[in-house]
């Protein structure tokens, strides 16, 4: 989830009872402008209508099996594919543990979950952290905002024990939300950021860094396998790589610079013609984004080459185009990574076909693309903090 910076603020020192009262007040104290929800409209079969959404939430809420398997070198943690919209996995926080479904997100660095102080509509259907039930909880007075492409949250920095399967981080800094905007009705509770520490809005040490520093993982790497269509089967793994999830060899791509999961792209081509990134560009490899996003002018040009017609927030094509449209090839550090039409064309709830290329609304000085789940379903991805690089290989 790519996001833009907002300023942090702090509360003055208060006693315990006054702190609880202030939490309620802060949740209502600011007028927050709603940001249009985009990512949730990228699922394979779009949720439409209030009843459909409510039924979906009742059927799918918090039923993911959370049995992580741990070998001598790595921990494999299950994720669930929510209709190609997002991938979620369970974590627990507190003593005794309270369970939450979170997006494991390489585009951000903060961990946050809803709290009982959140009165936003987005929190109404989610599991909320109840601090009074945890004997290991401790709070701070640091309040801050995080802004994503899909929405934003206002949170309070706190500390508690966090478990990812059998991996544990004690006294882990994380955020409890006081207000959320733009996440209404989406079947996840919060976000677990896996980007570098310098990307943290709260200034807290990310959980992966704590696990690494405490020796809980043998190697400073994590990796993703994202399933296609199937609800089960996706995983995130920590401390190593399970070779059963990819074919051939891993191709290692150095980061443009340490501090973010962004790589250099040589060009983007179709039928041997360059259609974008003609002078080289950069791309964020982002498990928290569903689509492939890029600059408006270049995305619009790609839509025209596909013969796509704009309708609402999407661009539609004939479903038969899946069999005729060519692959779009991202050449990354000299490595060709084709994205075939069967991957970049999806069906909505009415079985109408649309493309998964979308404008990146975050303005940057350089041509920047976001390679989200559409790309990562095709390519097993390894995020190597020890060597500041990303490994890509064909997913099984």
Question: Annotated active-site positions, please?
Answer: 105, 286
Distance CA 236, CA 376 (A): 12
58, two tokens: 């009742």
Q: Residue 300: which H helix or E strand, with range?
A: helix 296-306
Distance CA 309, CA 148 (A): 27
Nearest to 224 by CA among 214, 238, 207, 204: 238
b/e per residue 260-288 (b: at least 16 CB within 10 A): bbbbbbbbbbbeeeebbbeeebbbbbbbb
Distance CA 187, CA 87 (A): 10
In whole angstroms, how far apart are CA 369 and each of 91, 282, 296, 375? 30, 6, 11, 12
Detail the DSSP E strand segments found in 220-318: 221-225, 234-238, 246-254, 262-270, 273-276, 281-285, 292-294, 309-311, 314-317
* Tally of residues, the chain: 396
Output phi, psi for 24, to 5 deg. -65, -40
Distance CA 154, CA 23 (A): 11
The alpha carbon dihedral of 40, 61, 89, 340 has a sign of negative
106, two tokens: 């390489």
Distance CA 122, CA 120 (A): 5
Output phi, psi for 387, to 5 deg. -120, 10
> What is the maximum span of the chain, computed from C-alpha positions, in angstroms?
67
**Nearest-5° Cα angle at 156, 85 to 30:** 85
Contact 380, 394 (CB under 8 A): yes
């Amino acid at each position: 989830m790519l996001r833009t910076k907002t300023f942090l603020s702090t509360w003055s020192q208060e006693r315990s009872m006054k702190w609880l009262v202030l939490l309620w007040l802060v949740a209502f104290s600011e007028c927050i402008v709603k940001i249009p929800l985009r990512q949730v409209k990228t699922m394979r079969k779009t949720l439409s209508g209030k009843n459909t959404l409510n039924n979906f939430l009742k059927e799918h809420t918090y039923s993911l099996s959370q049995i992580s398997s741990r070998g001598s070198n790595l921990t494999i943690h299950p994720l669930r594919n929510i209709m190609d919209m997002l991938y979620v996995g369970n974590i627990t926080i507190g003593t005794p543990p309270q369970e939450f479904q979170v997006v494991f997100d390489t585009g951000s660095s903060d961990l946050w979950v809803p709290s009982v102080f959140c009165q936003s509509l987005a929190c109404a259907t989610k599991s909320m952290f109840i601090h009074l039930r945890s004997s290991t909880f401790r709070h701070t007075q640091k309040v801050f905002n995080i802004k994503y492409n899909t929405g934003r949250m206002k949170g309070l920095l706190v500390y508690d024990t966090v478990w990812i399967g059998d991996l544990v981080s004690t006294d882990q800094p994380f955020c409890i939300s006081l207000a959320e905007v733009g996440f209404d009705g989406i079947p996840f509770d919060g976000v677990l950021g896996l980007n570098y520490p310098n990307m943290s809005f709260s200034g807290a040490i990310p959980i992966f860094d704590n696990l690494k520093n405490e020796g809980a993982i043998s190697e400073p790497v994590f990796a993703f396998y994202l399933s296609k269509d199937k609800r089960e089967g996706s995983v995130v793994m920590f401390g190593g790589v399970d070779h059963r999830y990819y074919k051939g060899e891993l191709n290692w791509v150095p980061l443009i610079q340490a501090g973010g999961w962004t790589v250099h792209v040589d060009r983007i081509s179709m039928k041997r013609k360059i259609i974008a990134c003609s002078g080289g560009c950069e791309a964020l490899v982002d498990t928290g984004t569903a689509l492939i996003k890029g600059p408006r002018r270049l995305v619009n040009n790609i839509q025209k080459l596909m013969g796509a017609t704009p309708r609402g927030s999407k661009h539609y094509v004939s479903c038969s185009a899946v069999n005729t449209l060519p692959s779009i090839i991202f050449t990354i550090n000299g490595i060709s990574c084709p994205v075939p039409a069967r991957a970049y064309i999806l069906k909505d709830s009415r079985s109408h076909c649309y493309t998964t290329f979308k404008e990146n609304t975050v303005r940057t000085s350089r041509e920047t693309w976001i390679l989200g789940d559409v790309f990562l379903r095709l390519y097993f991805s390894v995020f190597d903090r020890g060597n500041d690089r990303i490994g890509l290989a064909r997913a099984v």
